Structure 1
Amino acid sequence: MTSEAKRAKIDDDTPLLNFLRWCNGVGLGLSSKVRVSKEGTVAEYGMLAQDDIEVGEVLFTIPRAVLLHQGTTSVSALLEKERVSLESSSGWVPLLLALLYEYTTPQSKWKPYLSLWTDFKMLDHPMFWSKAERDRLLMGTGIPEAVDKDLANIQREYRDVVLPFMAKHPDIWNPLTHTLELYMQLVAFVMAYSFQEPQEELEEDDEEEEEDEKAPNPPMMVPMADMLNHVSKHNANLEFTPDTLKMVCVCPIKKGEEVFNTYGQMANWQLLHMYGFTQPYRNNADDTVDIPVANLHKAAAKDGDQQLLKEMWEVLQEKGAFVFGKNGCLTDMELHNTLKMLCMSREEFVEFKDNDGWEDDEDEEEISQAFSNEGLPGLTSKWKQYIHEAARLTVEGYHNIDRDRVLMEERALLEGLSSRQRNALHVRYGQKTILEKVMELTKT
Structure 2
Amino acid sequence: MSDARIRNFTSFVRGVGASFDESAVRFSSSPLHGFGVFARSPINRGTVLATVPKAAILSVENASLWQHLNKQHAATADDANEHPRDSVCDPLFQLPAALLFEALFGDRSPWRFYIDVLPSTLAEIGVPLAEDPARVAKVCQGTGIDVLTRTICVKLREVFDQIIKPLLVRRGAELDLEKSVVENVTFDQFLLAFAWATSRAFAVDAFHGNSMVPIADMFNHCTDGEHVHIEGAGDDGDGSDGSLSDEDEGTDSSPSRPSRPSVNGVANDKHTAHNNGDPEVLKIVCVKDIAPGNEIFNTFGQKPNTLLYLNYGFTEEHNAYDTALVHRLDIEHVLQRFSEQAHSADRSMTPSRKACVQAAASVVFDEAVDDYFQITTDGSFCHGILLLVYLHVAPWADLQPFCEDELELIEHLMQLSVLDILNAGGAPVRQIVSDIVERQLAKYPAGTSLASDEAALAAATEHTTPLERHALRLRIGQRKALKTAFRQLVGVEEENRKAEKRGSECKVQAARVSRVRKRLKTGLLG
Amino acid in structure 2 at the alignment position of 1:275: Y
SS where residue 397 of structure 1 aligns? Answer: coil
Counterpart position of 1:247: 284
Amino acid in structure 2 at the alignment position of 1:66: A
Taking structure 1 as the reference length, the TM-score comes to: 0.81
Partners of 2:94 and 2:329 in 1: how far apart?
Answer: 38
The answer to whether the 8 Å contact 1:290/1:323 transfers is yes
Match of 1:143 among 127, 142, 145: 145
**Deviation per residue, 1:376-412 (Å, 9 max, x gap):** 99x9443233222211211111114636633533533
Counterpart position of 1:15: 5
Counterpart position of 2:486: 439
Partners of 1:347 and 1:341 in 2: how far apart?
Answer: 12
SS where residue 237 of structure 1 aligns? Answer: strand
Counterpart position of 2:501: none
Partners of 1:275 and 1:437 in 2: how far apart?
Answer: 27
SS where residue 285 of structure 2 aligns? Answer: strand
Partners of 1:330 and 1:252 in 2: how far apart?
Answer: 38
The answer to whether the 8 Å contact 2:450/2:480 transfers is no
Match of 1:183 among 190, 199, 209: 190
Is structure 2 residue 374 aligned with structure 1 residue 323? yes
Is structure 2 residue 420 aligned with structure 1 residue 429? no
Counterpart position of 1:236: 228
Is structure 2 residue 349 aligned with structure 1 residue 342? no
Counterpart position of 2:523: none
The answer to whether the 8 Å contact 2:142/2:444 transfers is yes
Deviation at 1:166, TM superposition (A): 2.2
The answer to whether the 8 Å contact 1:236/1:259 transfers is yes
Distance 1:27 1:386, change over 3 A: same
Partners of 1:363 and 1:154 in 2: how far apart?
Answer: 36
Match of 1:152 among 154, 165, 190: 154
Higher normalized contact order (CA 8 Å, seq sep 6+, divided by chain length): 1
The answer to whether the 8 Å contact 1:287/1:431 transfers is yes
Match of 1:290 among 322, 325, 328: 325
SS where residue 398 of structure 1 aligns? Answer: coil
SS where residue 69 of structure 1 aligns? Answer: coil
Q: Where do 1:266-415 residues align within 5 Å?
A: 266-280=303-317, 282=318, 284-300=319-335, 301-302=337-338, 303-304=341-342, 306-308=348-350, 313-317=357-361, 318-319=364-365, 320-329=371-380, 331-332=382-383, 334-356=384-406, 357-358=408-409, 360=411, 367=417, 380-400=426-446, 402=448, 405-409=451-455, 411-413=458-460, 415=462
The answer to whether the 8 Å contact 2:59/2:208 transfers is no
Deviation at 1:271, TM superposition (A): 0.9
The answer to whether the 8 Å contact 1:57/1:249 transfers is yes
Counterpart position of 1:202: none
Counterpart position of 1:117: 118
SS where residue 328 of structure 1 aligns? Answer: coil
**Deviation per residue, 1:171-214 (Å, 9 max, x gap):** 23443243322112111111111122244xxxxxxxxxxxxxxx
Match of 1:220 among 173, 197, 211: 211
Amino acid in structure 2 at the alignment position of 1:150: I
The answer to whether the 8 Å contact 1:229/1:259 transfers is yes
Deviation at 1:243, TM superposition (A): 2.0
What stretches of structure 1 of length at least 5 have no aligned partner? 1-9, 200-215
Deviation at 1:436, TM superposition (A): 1.7
The answer to whether the 8 Å contact 1:292/1:321 transfers is yes
The answer to whether the 8 Å contact 2:44/2:286 transfers is yes
Number of aligned residue pairs: 409
Deviation at 1:269, TM superposition (A): 0.4
Distance 1:337 1:376, change over 3 A: closer
Deviation at 1:297, TM superposition (A): 3.5
Partners of 2:117 and 2:20 in 1: how far apart?
Answer: 18
Distance 1:116 1:359, change over 3 A: closer
Q: Where do 1:167-178 residues align within 5 Å?
A: 167-171=169-173, 172=175, 173=177, 174-178=181-185
Amino acid in structure 1 at the alignment position of 2:326: I
Deviation at 1:143, TM superposition (A): 1.8
Is structure 2 residue 29 aligned with structure 1 residue 57? no
Partners of 1:395 and 1:219 in 2: how far apart?
Answer: 36
Amino acid in structure 1 at the alignment position of 2:57: L
Deviation at 1:231, TM superposition (A): 1.9
Partners of 2:212 and 2:392 in 1: how far apart?
Answer: 47
Amino acid in structure 1 at the alignment position of 2:220: N
Match of 2:167 among 165, 168, 175: 165
Amino acid in structure 2 at the alignment position of 1:367: S
Distance 1:30 1:161, change over 3 A: same
**Deviation per residue, 1:323-372 (Å, 9 max, x gap):** 2212232633x3443333222223444333135444846896x937x59x
The answer to whether the 8 Å contact 2:389/2:429 transfers is yes
Q: Judging by fraction of residues, say which structure has more helix.
A: 2
The answer to whether the 8 Å contact 1:408/1:414 transfers is no
Deviation at 1:230, TM superposition (A): 1.0
Stretch moving more, 13-22 or 268-277:
13-22
Deviation at 1:129, TM superposition (A): 1.6
Amino acid in structure 1 at the alignment position of 2:435: E
Distance 1:109 1:360, change over 3 A: closer
RMSD: 3.2
Partners of 1:46 and 1:402 in 2: how far apart?
Answer: 36
Distance 1:96 1:337, change over 3 A: closer
Deviation at 1:19, TM superposition (A): 1.4
Distance 1:74 1:355, change over 3 A: closer
Counterpart position of 1:91: 91
Match of 1:263 among 279, 300, 323: 300
Partners of 1:326 and 1:118 in 2: how far apart?
Answer: 32
Taking structure 2 as the reference length, the TM-score comes to: 0.69
SS where residue 445 of structure 2 aligns? Answer: coil
SS where residue 51 of structure 2 aligns? Answer: strand
Deviation at 1:152, TM superposition (A): 2.3
